Amino acid sequence: MAQQKGIIKLDGTISGITFYKTRDGYLAREKGGVTAEKIANDPAFQRTRENGAEFGRAGKAGKVLRTSIRPLLQNASDSKTVGRLTQRMVKVIQADATNPRGERNVIDGEAELLQGFEFNINAKLGTTLYAPFTAAIDRVAGTLTVDIPSYVPINMIVAPGGTTHYKIISAGVEVDFENETYVVDEQSSAVLPWDATATTALSLANTVTAASTHPLFVVLGIEFYQEVNGQMYSLKNGAFNALQMVKVSGA
């Protein structure tokens, strides 16, 4: 590694020397590493090709799942959600005991390993919503439900400073990972006051294809609001909103 000097700073590759910019300044180094052609064809890199194929498959699966609930993620996710979900998808694929290495996939893996995944690591559902709830999947009927008995908001919800109201949200998702398609149904409570008054029991029913043969997912979350002059504003742009995969049924 060499430091570039002079008035003109270079960026790129010339005669096998790569010039590039870093936070330490403009540097230069001899181009090296394994060629793409060698990785693609050399038997010594067979494991690398297998790992790459499965990692790519995990990335695509994660993207389909994220896209299916994009409206919810816009209000409840962190900067590393994509990477964290891809890592979890890799574990799902690695649990495939049917196909050979390099050809393992989500369908034959263990989609249930996604259960409990937090989309916003900075605001976990388990440390935000303490009201007990039951999530259920009726594959035959195509109904994915969340039921929450009556609770007192200020006792069972840890809300950030400035909160006046909140909303419980859910989504039922059916994903065809092979064809990269999905069916999703989102439901939510009304915007409720965060106070000491007990709520009524809440039941959110999400509907997907009846008797589906694809993996099914139930997502549950909470969004916080602040009321100002009769208008509801998302608190801190959703930084404290929680969203979790609370129930999963593989194909």
Q: What is the pLDDT of residues 4-38, one digit of tens each?
A: 455 555 555 655 566 666 766 666 655 656 666 76
Q: Quickly list H helices, 109-226.
A: 153-156
**pLDDT for 166-215, tens place per residue?**
999 999 999 999 999 999 999 999 999 999 999 999 999 999 999 999 99
Q: What is the model's pTM?
A: 0.83
Dihedral (C-alpha) 15, 36, 83, 61: value to the nearest 10 degrees? Answer: 150
Please say whether the beta carbons of 181 and 168 come within 8 A: no
Question: By C-alpha distance, which of 209, 12, 242, 13 is closest to 121?
Answer: 242
SS3 223: strand
The DSSP bridge partners found for residue 117 are none
How does the average pLDDT of the chain come out, rounded? 89
**pLDDT for 66-80, tens place per residue?**
999 999 999 999 999
